[in-house]
Amino acid sequence: MTRMSRIKEFTLPDLGEGLTEGEILSWLVKVGDTIELNQPIVEVETAKAAVEIPAKWAGQVTKIFHEAGTTVEVGQPIVAIDTDPSAGPVPSEESLAAVEIAPEEGAVEPGLIGGPAPGGRTAVLVGYGPKNTTAKRRPRVSTPPPSAPTAPAATPPAAAASSAAPAPVAPQPEPARVVETPTAPRVEGPNGRVLAKPPVRKLARDLGVDLATIAGTGPMGSVTRGDVQDAVAVVDVAPAAPAFDASREQRIPIKGVRKLTAENMVASAFTAPHVTEFLTVDMTRTMKAVEKLKARPEFRDVRVSPLLLVAKAVLLAVKRHPMVNSTWSGATGEIVIKDYINLGIAAATERGLIVPNIKDAGRLSLRELAESLNTLVQVAKSGKTPPSDMAGGTLSITNVGVFGVDTGTPILPPGESAILAFGAVKPTPWVHKEKIKIRQVSTLGLSFDHRIIDGELGSKFLRDIGAFLTDPEGALLAWT
């Protein structure tokens, strides 16, 4: 089996939706490891998410082309795999290229390196290439003692044949510098220079002390080490001026999820005319409904949060106002109303903000919706959200309340016409049944594309979401 047929180079594949590059986050194998078919070998972050790539062949890893942290274009090799390691070691390309077959006439005796070879060349070690000149020993770099005469080097036969050529001149060694070690401070002349030994001057520099300000107590009025230390003890040295440069800055490369998010948000913000409306809602009954759901047997093994009922409110409000779940198509001059709801949930991860979506969420039961929300959040936190989960969203929710924020003015994800910001639920004085009571209150913020959704439609949509959260049990009975 030849080397080319044994060694397979695995290139970075297109991980979906025309992605052109990916950053290698970590290698799950190392050179010399034996791997199996479809075994995960590397974790790569694309503009969509972080994914593990499985091996295309079984065998032994022989080379890793790029270290972790490198951005690699799709189609470039990332790892080499020996698919038949049991066949023995693989000869290197260099050694294969250096093998020459000499003709029978004039064959060189094995082992004589430097002897004659076909073509008038000199036989050399395999892998070091042909040599067309005679070998010469490089002279030792040394300086003989002055009293020892230098004997002329013996002239080899090959060198004698070309004695007419001038002999190369050996470079002369640089004379050694003589460093004068001062034994006592010297007077530098009538220039007013303070007398001090070099170690004392260095100590003063290190401590930021001006020798001119110190009265020396040493011989001839020289400044001693003790004088410098005493000066530091009684004089406050001014602190260095603060630096405002790269030494106090941190630079984060714009790549991966963060880069794609920035591009999408800029494109959306300056393409779709945004409008944001706000509604403050008494969610006391919603919070009680959450506690009731947690106590029910069918919800005991799934996490239930207020976000579940907010999502349900959005889904039911879309059924009452289908135009909200649409997209603007400038290419065809149409508004595309969608009969399916891929509900996006914004999730903050270590690599940036992502918005995976629950496919066809409008057809799910409340229990199924709770399971889907839990799975979406868990996968997002692990950083393993696949690109397919972040494609095709039609409507989104961003839960800023988990950070204690009241609400916000969210930017639309590209291709969507509405996004709801769900703020923190807080105990607040509220007029309830004509009396001021402490109620659980939250503020909703709805941003929408004003090309599709006018003020009336946006207001009705937000009103219905608020009505559901004010009385979720009654809305479920009346709207479903």
CA angle 463–468–474, rounded 5-degree value? 135
Instruction: Name, of 11-15, 114-118, 339-343, the range with top average pLDDT.
Output: 339-343
pLDDT band per the 50, 70, 90 thresholds, residue 310: very high
| pLDDT average, residue stretch 155-159 | 43
- pLDDT at position 453: 95
Task: Indicate if the pLDDT at residue 165 is higher than 80.
Answer: no
**Which of 9-13, 286-290, 418-422, 462-466 has the weakest average pLDDT?**
9-13
Tokens of 380: 């997002």
Q: Check residues 88 and 44 and name the one with the higher pLDDT.
A: 44
**Which of 165-179, 184-198, 275-289, 460-474 has the weakest average pLDDT?**
165-179
Q: Check residues 217 and 256 and name the one with the higher pLDDT.
A: 217
- pLDDT at position 91: 63
3-state secondary structure of 167: coil
pLDDT digit string, tens, across residues 315-339? 999 999 999 999 999 889 999 999 9
3-state secondary structure of 439: strand
Question: Which of 269, 266, 256 lies closest to 352 in space, CA to CA?
Answer: 256
Query: Is the pTM of the predicted complex or chain greater than 0.95?
Result: no
Place of tokens 């290139």: 11
pLDDT band per the 50, 70, 90 thresholds, residue 365: very high
Q: Rounded to an integer, what distance in angstroms lies between the CA atom of residue 435 and that of residue 43?
A: 58
Fold assignment, 3-86: OB fold (Dihydrolipoamide Acetyltransferase, E2P) (2.40.50)
Identical fold at 198-234 and 273-479? no
- pLDDT at position 472: 96
Fold assignment, 198-234: Dihydrolipoamide Transferase (4.10.320)
- pLDDT at position 109: 45
- pLDDT at position 253: 81
Q: Which residues are catalytic?
A: 450
**Beta strands 71-73 and 50-54, pairing class:** unpaired
Task: Indicate if the pLDDT at residue 103 is higher than 80.
Answer: no
Q: Rounded to an integer, what distance in angstroms lies between the CA atom of residue 23 and that of residue 260?
A: 13
DSSP code, position 147 = T
Task: Indicate if the pLDDT at residue 361 is higher than 50.
Answer: yes
Q: How far apart are the first and last CA of the chain?
A: 68
Task: Indicate if the pLDDT at residue 164 is higher than 60.
Answer: no
Task: Indicate if the pLDDT at residue 51 is higher than 60.
Answer: yes
Question: How far is residue 385 from each of residues 134, 353, 375, 376, 390, measured CA to CA in Å?
Answer: 65, 12, 10, 8, 8
pLDDT digit string, tens, across residues 372-425? 999 999 998 888 888 888 889 999 999 999 999 999 999 999 899 999 999 999
- pLDDT at position 113: 43
pLDDT band per the 50, 70, 90 thresholds, residue 263: confident
Q: Check residues 293 and 111 and name the one with the higher pLDDT.
A: 293
Q: Check residues 146 and 235 and name the one with the higher pLDDT.
A: 235
User: For 273-479, CATH number?
Assistant: 3.30.559.10
Q: Check residues 43 and 440 and name the one with the higher pLDDT.
A: 440
Domain ranges for the chain, please list them: 3-86, 198-234, 273-479
Q: Which helix (H) or strand (E) holds 373?
A: helix 366-382
